[in-house]
Structure 1
Amino acid sequence: MGKKLLHNFSSLLGFFLLGLSLWAIASELRQYDYRDVFKSLAAIPTSRLYWAIGLTILSYLGLANYDSLAFRYIGHALAYPKSVFTGFISAAATNTVGFAFLTGSAIRYRLYSAWGVPAIAIAQIILFENISFWLGLFAVSGVMFLFYPLEIPTQLHLPFISVRPIGLIFLLVVAGYLVGSLFARKPLNIRGHEFRFPSLQIALAQVAISGLDWICATAVLYILLPATTALSYPGFLGLYLLAMTAGVVSNVPGGLGVFESIILLLLSSKVSVTAVLGSLLVYRGIYYLLPLVVATGLLGLYEILSRWKVRSP
C-alpha cells in the first residue's frame, strides 16, 4: 500500500513538473511578438545561428554532467545515461523556470527515486550540483574581474567602482574550497548538517566542467551580437558574468529583465540598443527556450512510458 501511494505521488509530481514546464514555455513565448522574432533571426547569419546552437549543446552537456560527477562524489552507482538524462532536464527547467527547489530538485527526486536512489543521496546530489554551479561562476568571474576589470555603472548603486575586489573575493572562495578538498579529512558541521569535501580531483572537475559551461553560455550570446560590435570576447565575458551574477542573485527566472537591463546598460555605448535587443531575443530562444522544449518533450515521453509499463501485464 505504501509503495503504491509513493508511486502515485511520484507520478503526479512528474506530471505536475511537465505542466509547469509547458506553462513556462507558453509564458516565455507570450513575451515576444513573432514578427520581432523573425526580424531578429533574419538579421543574424545562418552560420552564427548554427554556432550558437552548437555552443548551447556543449554548455548543457556540461550542466548534465554535474549529476554524473555527483554520483562519483557520494559513491553511489547509477548508469551514466540516467544521470545525464536527469541532469539535462533539471538544468533546462531550472535555467528557464527558476525556483530550483520546485523544478530541478523536484525533477531529480522524481527520477532518481524511481531508479532506487535513496532520499539522502538525492539531497547530497542537489547540494553538490548547486556548489558546482557557483564554483564555476566564481572561478571564471574571479579571473575575468581581476585581470579584465570593468567599471561598475553608478546606476547599479554598488559599493565598488570596479569589479576587481569582487573578483578577488570570488577567487579566494574557490581557493578555499580547493584547499579544503586537499586537506580536510573530517566532515564540517554546518547548522547541524554534515558537509564532506570531495577529493581534489573531483573538486577540480567541478570547477572545470562548470567553468566550461559559463564560457560556452557567454559565447552563445557573443556570437549572436552584430559583427560590427567593437568588443573582444574576453571583454564581453566579464560583462556577461557581471550581468548574469546580478540575474542569479535576483532569483528571477532566467534572470529575465535584470540580465537584459545590465547588458543593455553596459553595451549601449558600443552597439545600437535595437541590435542588442534582437541578439538577446534570439539568445533567449536558443539558450533557454529550445533546451526547455526538448527537456519537456523528454520528460513527457518518460512519464508516458512509465505509466504504460505500470499498466502492462
Structure 2
Amino acid sequence: MTKKVAILGAGSWGTALAMVLEENGHDVRIWSHKAKQADEINFKHTNKFYLPAVVLADSIKATHHIEEAIKDVDVIVFVVPTKAIREVAKKVVPFLTKPMVIVHASKGLEQESHKRISEILEEEIPESKRQAVVALSGPSHAEEVALKDLTTITAASTNEDASKVVQELFMNDYFRIYTNDDIIGVELGAALKNIIAVGAGALQGLGYGDNAKAALMTRGLAEISRLGVAFGADSITFLGLSGVGDLIVTCTSTHSRNWRAGHMLGKGNSLKEVLESMGMVVEGIATTKAAYELAQEKGIEMPITAAIYEVLYNGAKVEDIIVSLMQREGKSEA
C-alpha cells in the first residue's frame, strides 16, 4: 500500500533512502534547510554535491518548508546530523496532527547529554504525537544504495509493529530489512563504530596493513560491546548488522567520511584541515568525545576510544598513541 513519507535531511543518505521509497511506489518528500538544494532536486532532479552520479525520479519532491514536507504524511524519517536532531524535532512538533511512526537513520550521540537519538526524539515529540520511534541502521553506504547495490540493515524499536511497518516500507529486492527489539544496542553500535573507523583510517594513512586493521576492529568491537551492555544493550546485537556489519563497512571503505578523516590525520593533517576539507559532518569526531566522557562516568575501560580522543582533542600524535596502545600491560583476551 502506498504511503506518504517525509525525509528530513537532503544529504547523501536521506536522498538514497528517498530513492528506495520511490522505487517501492511510495509518495516521497525531502526536506532541506537550503532552498537552493530543494530547487535543484525539483527542477534538475539531481543532488550533485552529495550524490554526483545519480539522477532522481521526477516524482521525488523537495521543499525547504517543514510544514509542507510533513503535511498529511504517514511516516517521518529523520536523516539529519545528530547535532541537528533536537532542533529539527522541535520544528516538526507544531505541525503533527496525528500520532505516527517516527524513524531516524542518523548515527551518533548528542554532545553534553550523551543521549541516543531515539531518546532525543522521545523527549521532543510528545507521546500523543508518535506511535513509536524506530532506528534504521546497518552497513549501508548511500553511494551504493543509490546504485541499487545489495544492502541489508536493521529496523529497531521496542514496538515490534512499528519495526515491521518500517521493514515493509523500505524492503525490496536489493534493500533488505531485518527487525530488532534492541534499539539501545543498535543505536550505540551505529554511533560507536564511527570512532573505530577514524582509527582504521589513521592506521592506513600511516602505512599499516591488514593485521593492524583486523586488530583494531576486533578490539574496537569489544569496547563497543562493553559500553553498550553497561547501558542495557544485548551483547548479541553487536554481532549483527548494526554492530560488526556496520563496523566492517565503515572501517574498510573510502566511502566512509570517518575513515577518510582518520586517513588524513594519519597522513599528518591537522583536525582543522581535515574538517575544512571534508565539507560534510564527520559524526565520529563528536561521538569520540561523547563516548570518552560516558566511559569515564561509568568507569568502563575503552583504551582505543581514549587514544583517539587524545589525538582529536589533546593534539597527541597518532604514531605515539599507537605505541602506547601496543605497550599496554598484557592481559587475557576474555
More contact order relative to length (CA 8 Å, sep ≥ 6): 1
Higher strand fraction: Structure 1 or Structure 2?
2
More helix as a share of residues: 1
> One fold, TM greater than 0.5?
no
Q: TM-score, normalised by structure 2?
A: 0.29
